[in-house]
């Protein structure tokens, strides 16, 4: 078994200590950070998601897997964020109201910071008012919203509607993402863009903010 397969396998059993140890070893062995993330941590979490869907495992197991995911991500984070980079724009991010999933949102935040954005992370279960007030008070260039549940996706539209009422719409760009979110949904609710992962979010925001 390769070290990446081991990371994936230990994550699936929720062994956070092993995931931390193996991630450190992979970093020492100079395995590419992107590979550790995609082929180790995210690959393991996809298996967990699939089993959860088929009711082969239950919520406590998923929570343990999430803790193991963070054990690895915390070690990769400093390697994904370069120091001394010029800020290219300010982005307010968060998982929408009712949504407690924050792993993907945190990854997007890490990627944005790594690319030189000033990131204000509001966390998870964020009310529309909080997104809008923060974007206003911080004079942000963009709002980035994450949703992992089909039941919380509509919260993204609530933020956009409030932006319209508050005169922010069109001035502050909106990028949305998360597993159930699509390009069509982004168009339907009036978001400026959909991004499928952190790198795509960076590219999208760079293109927007560069032309602002």
Q: Which is nearer to ligand B1M, 31 or 181 (CB)?
A: 181
> Residue 112: which of 89, 139, 128 has the closest Cα?
89
Part of the chain binding ligand B1M (CB under 6 A), chosen from 1-9, 97-105, 131-139, 162-170: 97-105
98 interacts with ligand B1M by CB under 6 A: yes
Distance CA 23, CA 14 (A): 14
Q: Which is nearer to ligand B1M, 10 or 28 (CB)?
A: 10
Binding residue (CB under 6 A) for ligand B1M from 48, 120, 163, 191? 48
Closest contact distance (angstroms) between CB of 179 and ligand B1M is: 4
Q: Which is nearer to ligand B1M, 71 or 107 (CB)?
A: 107
Distance CA 35, CA 135 (A): 34
Closest contact distance (angstroms) between CB of 132 and ligand B1M is: 16
Contact 126, 95 (CB under 8 A): yes
Which x/- pattern, by CB under 6 A, does the window 104-143 give for ligand B1M?
xx-xx-----------------------------------
Binding residue (CB under 6 A) for ligand B1M from 45, 71, 75, 135? 45
Q: Which is nearer to ligand B1M, 28 or 103 (CB)?
A: 103
Near ligand B1M in 142-201, by CB under 6 A: 144-146, 148-151, 175-180, 195, 197-198, 201
Part of the chain binding ligand B1M (CB under 6 A), chosen from 25-33, 55-63, 115-123, 130-138: 55-63
Contact 172, 163 (CB under 8 A): yes
Q: Which residues bind ligand B1M (CB under 6 A)?
A: 42, 45-46, 48-49, 52-53, 59, 62-63, 66, 93, 98-105, 107-108, 144-146, 148-151, 175-180, 195, 197-198, 201
């Amino acid at each position: 078994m390769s070290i990446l397969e081991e990371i994936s396998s230990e994550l699936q059993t929720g062994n956070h200590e092993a995931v931390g140890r193996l991630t450190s070893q992979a970093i020492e062995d100079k395995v590419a950070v992107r590979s550790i993330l995609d082929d180790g941590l995210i690959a393991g979490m996809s298996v967990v998601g699939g089993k959860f869907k088929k009711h082969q495992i239950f919520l406590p197991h998923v929570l343990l897997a999430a803790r193991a995911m963070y054990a690895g991500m915390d070690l990769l984070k400093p390697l994904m964020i370069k120091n001394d980079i010029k800020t290219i724009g300010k982005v307010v991010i968060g998982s929408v109201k009712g949504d407690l999933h924050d792993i993907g949102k945190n990854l997007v935040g890490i990627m944005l910071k790594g690319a030189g954005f000033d990131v204000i992370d509001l966390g998870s279960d964020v009310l529309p008012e909080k997104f809008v007030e923060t974007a206003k008070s911080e004079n942000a260039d963009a709002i980035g919203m994450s949703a992992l549940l089909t039941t919380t996706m509509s919260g993204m539209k609530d933020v956009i509607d409030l932006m319209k009422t508050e005169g922010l719409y069109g001035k502050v760009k909106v990028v949305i993402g998360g597993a159930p979110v699509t390009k069509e949904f982004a168009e339907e609710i009036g978001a400026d863009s959909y991004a499928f992962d952190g790198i795509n979010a960076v590219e999208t925001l760079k293109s927007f903010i560069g032309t602002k």
